[in-house]
């Protein structure tokens, strides 16, 4: 099969999965290493790792996606072909030098935090634009970052307003389960009947019915997974955390206790809405950004980041079409985006949402299927 076709197929595979709820497709990485169990490193799992030695194997795929998104290319730009990822090519060799450079910059200047990434220079181009005058960047001036505008309320106040606007902590914590029905729209425009089940903070699954059976993205107290076309993959530890944050109910009720440090960033637009932007961090947690509607206080967007030594990979979910269910506001449309070439949006449009109805715990059991893509990305 030509590389392009193969990468397109992988792309669809990844796109679809992420799509669902911004859940990032994974390397096929094994269940998160439990306490006392050392995670496998990239060089123990893959055949020809020179620069990414000592990096957890479960992050390899995110790193590949960072290079894709930063350069605006597909896997085939650097790799020889499907099943031949270990073979060196001229562009792979250049990328190795670039990875080493980025890791050194971060280590020597930023205490190892992934501040500089491929995107810092490449900005979606295979060859970086070096002419200052032509740098296209419509994002707000970074100068304002960190220093909140005098009229901007504090992060704490904004978070309180958001929780209040969503229904208030009292009403939100009374919701123990959610069952929702609607449709899932894949990035390639296909439409499937979908269901969402939430049970407590640790269980959530989105199922959509294709002709071949149920596909799903979900997690229980132990693992997170993606099922596509009757194959499954377990997601990496940071992605499992990210998946939980995408659950609007969990986010509203837990965000203040999960994140201890907040920065008010320059305001941004989300569609035609003006939004306050809050950047949250806490030791050992995935960095997060919340976009809160300036008028209504409601959550418009969540971005969470998987940090790797060559940069952070963002996953974004937009929340739209808010409707009242009981005493709380529920987004009936979730749109997810992932970095990479092409249009990677996918949507869940809900039609019906119910709270506090019994949910069968069997919904949250990792389906007993064959692992997916194991031959390309061995399971550590």
Output the DSSP codes for 273-309.
EEEEEEEEE-TTS--EEEEEETTT--EEEEEEEEEET
CA 76 to mean position of chain CA atoms: 23
Report in angstroms how near the CB of residue 66 gets to ligand HEC at its nearest: 7
The residues binding ligand HEC (CB under 6 A) are 10, 46-52, 64-65, 67-68, 71, 73, 75, 77-79, 85-86, 91-92, 94-96, 98-99, 102, 116, 118, 120-122, 126-128, 310, 377
User: Using CA atoms, how far apart are residues 204 and 177, in angstroms rounded to an integer?
Assistant: 9
68: left (phi over 0), alpha (psi -120 to 50) or beta: alpha
* Cβ distance to ligand HEC smaller for residue 156 or 343: 343
Tell me how far apart the alpha carbons of residues 179 and 359 are, in angstroms, rounded to a whole number: 8
Helical segments of 22-154, H only = 42-45, 60-71, 90-109, 118-122
Quote the least distance from Cβ 251 to ligand HEC, whole Å: 28
CB closer to ligand HEC, 213 vs 342: 342
Residue 217: which of 22, 10, 355, 11 has the closest Cα?
22
| Least separation in angstroms between CB 238 and ligand HEC | 17
Q: Minimum distance from CB of 369 to ligand HEC (Å)?
A: 21
As given in the structure block, the two tokens for residue 156 are: 């704490």
Q: C-beta of 53: minimal distance to ligand HEC in Å?
A: 7
Q: Name beta bridge partners: 166.
A: none
Least distance in Å: CB of 76 to ligand HEC?
A: 8
Nearest CB to ligand HEC, comparing residues 77 and 250: 77
Q: What is the DSSP string of 132-169?
A: GGG----SPPGGGSSS--TTSPPHHHHHHHHHHHHT-H
- CA separation for the pair 278, 299 (Å, rounded): 11
Q: At closest approach, how far in Å is the CB of 378 from ligand HEC?
A: 8
Q: How far is the CB of 349 from ligand HEC (least distance, A)?
A: 28
CB nearer to ligand HEC: pick between 88 and 156: 88
Q: Considering beta carbons, is residue 15 or 280 the nearer one to ligand HEC?
A: 15
Q: Give the residue with the Cβ less far from ligand HEC, 47 or 139.
A: 47
CB 124, CB 339: distance < 8 Å: no
Q: State whether residue 182 is helix, strand or coil.
A: strand
Minimum Å gap between C-beta 55 and ligand HEC is: 8
DSSP-based three-state secondary structure for 272: coil
- Which residues have C-beta within 8 Å of that of residue 5, sequence separation ≥ 6? none
Report the phi/psi class of residue 284: left, alpha or beta, with left for phi > 0 and alpha for psi in -120 to 50.
Answer: left
Question: Which CB atom, from 116 or from 179, has the smaller least distance to ligand HEC?
Answer: 116
Closest to ligand HEC by CB, 128 or 200: 128
Helix, strand or coil for residue 340? coil
State the nearest-atom distance from the C-beta of 181 to ligand HEC, in Å: 33
* Residue listed under structure tokens 């959610």: 178
Closer to ligand HEC by Cβ: residue 54 or 193: 54
Q: In the complex with ligand HEC, which residue's Cβ is closer, 356 or 375?
A: 375
């Amino acid at each position: 099969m030509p590389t392009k076709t193969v990468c397109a197929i992988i792309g669809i595979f990844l796109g679809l999965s992420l799509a669902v709820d911004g859940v990032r497709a994974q390397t096929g990485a094994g269940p998160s290493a439990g306490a006392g169990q050392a995670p496998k490193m990239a060089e123990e799992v893959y055949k020809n790792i020179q620069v990414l030695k000592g990096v957890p194997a479960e992050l390899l795929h995110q790193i590949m996606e960072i290079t894709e998104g930063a350069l605006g290319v597909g896997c085939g730009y650097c790799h020889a072909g499907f099943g031949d990822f270990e073979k060196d090519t001229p562009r792979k060799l250049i990328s190795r030098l670039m990875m080493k450079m980025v890791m050194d910059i971060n280590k020597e200047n930023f205490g190892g935090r992934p501040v500089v990434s491929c995107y810092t220079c490449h900005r979606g181009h295979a060859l970086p634009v070096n002419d200052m005058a032509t740098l296209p960047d419509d994002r707000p001036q970074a100068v304002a970052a960190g220093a909140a505008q005098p009229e901007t309320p504090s992060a704490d106040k904004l978070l309180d307003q958001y929780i209040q606007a969503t229904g208030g902590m009292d009403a939100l914590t009374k919701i123990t389960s959610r069952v929702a029905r609607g449709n899932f729209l894949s990035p390639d425009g296909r439409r499937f009947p979908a269901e969402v089940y939430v049970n407590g903070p640790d269980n959530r699954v989105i199922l959509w019915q294709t002709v071949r059976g149920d596909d799903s993205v979900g997690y229980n107290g132990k693992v997170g997974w993606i099922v596509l076309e009757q194959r499954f993959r377990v997601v990496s530890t940071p992605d499992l955390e990210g998946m939980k944050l995408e659950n609007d109910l969990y986010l509203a009720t837990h965000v203040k206790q999960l994140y201890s440090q907040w920065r008010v960033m320059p305001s941004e637009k989300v569609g035609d809405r003006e939004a306050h932007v809050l950047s949250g961090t806490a030791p050992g947690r995935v960095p997060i950004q919340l976009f809160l509607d300036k008028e209504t206080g409601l959550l418009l967007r969540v971005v969470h980041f998987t940090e790797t030594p060559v940069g952070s990979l963002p996953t974004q979910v937009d929340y739209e079409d808010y409707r009242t269910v009981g005493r709380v506001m529920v987004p009936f449309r979730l749109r997810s985006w992932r970095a990479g070439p092409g249009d990677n949006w996918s949507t869940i449009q809900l039609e019906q949402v119910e709270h506090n109805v019994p949910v069968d715990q069997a919904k949250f059991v990792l389906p007993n299927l064959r692992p997916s893509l194991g031959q390309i990305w061995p399971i550590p």
